[in-house]
């Protein structure tokens, strides 16, 4: 998987605290994966998570979020 041409983004809720991840939705339809990387180390390793795993992660985060 080449990650150079992916359109990376991070949540609009991310502050400049430096503890963010970025995701790219480019490969969801064609490969069934969601690439994830550390926003502080953009040339570092990329995790290619299956869509179902990434969806479960997001659902878990939303379920445990503290309103506020």
Q: Domains of the chain: which residue ranges?
A: 21-64
To the question of pTM greater than 0.85 for the whole model, the response is no
pLDDT, tens digit, 9 for 90 and up, residues 21-62: 899 988 888 899 999 999 888 899 999 999 999 999 989 988
> Nearest CA to 21 among 44, 55, 50?
44
Contacts of 13 by beta carbon, 8 Å cutoff, 6+ apart: none
Contacts of 50 by beta carbon, 8 Å cutoff, 6+ apart: 32, 33, 34
């Amino acid at each position: 998987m080449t990650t150079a041409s992916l359109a990376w983004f991070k949540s609009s809720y991310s502050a400049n605290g430096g503890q963010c991840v970025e995701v790219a939705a480019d490969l969801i339809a064609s490969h069934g994966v969601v690439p994830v990387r550390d926003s502080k180390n953009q040339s570092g390793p990329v995790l290619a998570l299956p869509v179902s795993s990434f969806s479960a992660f997001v659902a878990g985060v939303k379920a445990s979020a503290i309103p506020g």
